[in-house]
Structure 1
Amino acid sequence: MKKFLVSTAALFASLSLVACSSGQSAEQSPLDKIKEKGTLVVATSPDYAPFEFQTLVDGENKVVGSDIMLAQKIADELGVELEISSMNFDNVLNSVQNGKADLAIAGLSVSPERLEVFDFSEPYYQVGNVLLVQKADAEKIATVADLDQLDLAVQKGTTQETYARESLSNANIISLTLMGEAVNELKNGQVKAILLDSAVAEGYISQNPDLAIAALSFEAEEENAKAIAMPKDSGDLKTEIDKIIAEIVESGEYNTYLEEAATYTVVE
């Protein structure tokens, strides 16, 4: 009987420990999960210089850019290794939603629709929307009416795509997967303009003197606040990332990242 009672007590104690362990696992925070595995997986789309793009380092393609430096800063601050997961832009947020990536850092703009599904960090950079055109057309597109019936390229899954379909619907909106593809179609005359971030447009202009920013400007409210996406209810992970971003914004460190990114040659 004693042996039976001891065995029964041991069984209940064991089950209690398992239940307690399962409860702790279920309650483990997103930040603790990252620290436990020792790796921060960041989804990005490396076709959006100066934020993220490919360059040649010692003869091999490498993903670089200001966002990649930001990702490395966050990984270092969390005390984990950084793993960059490259994909098309329209898959970046899905990668976070299905748990394949911890964060998305890809020149992402915050929008009400995205906020319903994801948590976003505080903004780390602010840019505006512009139209990239052939230099000869820069002064010809000065009003929204000048876009009527023109072929306007946007990148799939971007806030520019959403804005173009809502506010520039008289243009022929053409959604393309890669920004490099859109620029090639612009240079070949297959589209007349590309709606994109000003910083990205300036990067393409620096390497393509036949391109320019159109005279048409957009209102300040169409500016894009760049931020990091993470799963909904990320709690302490968001708190820690917001703290890191506050530091780099106040110190101007992100501007240093942009300056360093400008020294690399983009590989399409």
Structure 2
Amino acid sequence: MKRRNFLFTSALSAVLAVTVAACGNSGSPTAGEGGRRLVMATSADYPPYEFVDSASGSQEIIGFDVDIAEYITNELGYELEIQNIDFNGLIPALQANRADFVMAGMTPTEERKQNVDFSDIYYEAKNTIVSRQGSDLTTTESLNGKTVGVQLGSIQEGAAKEIQGANVKSLNRISEMIQELKAGRVDALIIEDTVASGFVANNPDLQFTEIPTAGEAGSAIAFPKGSELRDEFNTVLREMQQNGTMEELVNKWFGENSPAAGQEAAS
């Protein structure tokens, strides 16, 4: 299950880009010097899926999704460029032909499928409740009457709004949500387990509890409607599942020694 549930908005705020590029209006891959270039849009605030490598000082966007994208584009003979956009601007970027595909741990909900096409699901996680240590906020029922922080445009935002009596507070970035919780301005957060574990590991005053899976789940790659890239990407995704590459990347990014440890989770 993944964070992200699209809200229709025209805000396309490009915060930072590994390489700034624009796609052509045709929706086909952009031609780069010496080869074909694909622009991947993401929201690099979500370790270990995608985040800025501040620890090394490089400011490069790295993560689970980035490794998958690099593997696929290399196999298909494309150059890869990455743009960092606020999450709720990702699908509008596809619709405006500003990107060839989106990887941001995005769940292929029925609402999103009306606007974009999705690849096969490549990973599935679970939602959690993150709260301060010692609190009794460990079930959705316990959130009745509480203020619950979620990421704007996320699938967790939709899930929180279904909790009876919960006062939902939507914020732009995960690190901002953590600060709101630590400051007592929200009582709890709903975050995906793989992301929550990193933040809790670096903030021992917090705890998280898994929520039973219900409804739509899984992460997939989003493409503009009718994009021929979907079938190409699906072919490589299946190869990655069969040859063990996907398992290696899952172990790399979600294991105890993940390169994401100590990154934005500590903020």
Q: TM-score, normalised by structure 1?
A: 0.80
**1:188-224, Cα deviation, whole Å (9 max, x unpaired):** 211111112111111212222222113x622x33462
Residue segments in structure 2 that go unaligned for 5+ positions in a row: 1-24
CA distance 1:198–1:252, shift in 2 (3 Å)? farther
Tell me the equivalent position of 1:217: 211
**Aligned residue pairs: how many?**
233
What do residues 76-114 of structure 1 show as CA deviations (whole Å, max 9, x unaligned)?
Answer: 122121101001111111111111000000010110100
> Bigger CA drift: 34-43 or 74-83?
34-43
Distance change in 2, residues 1:58/1:47 (3 Å): closer
* C-alpha distance in 1 between matches for 2:140 and 2:55: 42
* Ranges in structure 1 where 5+ consecutive residues have no aligned partner: 1-25
RMSD: 2.0
Does structure 1 retain, via aligned residues, the 8 Å contact 2:109–2:216?
Answer: no
Give the helix-richer structure, 1 or 2: 1
Which of 46, 49, 61 in structure 2 is aligned with 1:48? 46
1:108 corresponds to which residue?
A: 106
Alignment correspondent of 1:161? 157
Is the 8 Å Cα contact of residues 125 and 192 (structure 2) preserved in structure 1?
Answer: yes
C-alpha distance in 2 between matches for 1:242 and 1:189: 44
Is 1:83 aligned to residue 100 of structure 2? no
Q: Which of these two proteins has the greater Rg computed from alpha carbons?
A: 1
Query: Counterpart of 2:178 in 1: which secondary structure?
Result: helix
Within 2, Cα distance between the matches of 1:51 and 1:84?
14
- Please give the alpha-carbon distance, in whole angstroms, between the structure 2 residues aligned to 1:174 and 1:69: 32
Alpha-carbon distance, 1:58 to partner = 4.8
Query: Counterpart amino acid of 1:61?
Result: Q
Q: Which residue in 2 is equivalent to 1:242? A: 234
Paired with 2:194 and 2:165, the residues of 1 have a C-alpha distance of 26
Q: Which residue of 1 aligns with 2:12?
A: none
Q: Is the alpha carbon distance of 1:106 and 1:194 closer, same or farther for their aligned partners in structure 2, counting shifts above 3 Å?
A: same
In structure 1, what residue type is equivalent to 2:156? Answer: Q
Superposed, 1:3-82 pairs within 5 Å as: 33-34=28-29, 36-37=31-32, 38-56=36-54, 58-82=56-80
1:152 aligned onto 2:154: no
CA shift, 1:229, in A, is: 0.4
| CA distance in 1 between partners of 2:241 and 2:203 (Å) | 30
Q: Which one-letter code corresponds to 1:47 in the other structure?
A: D
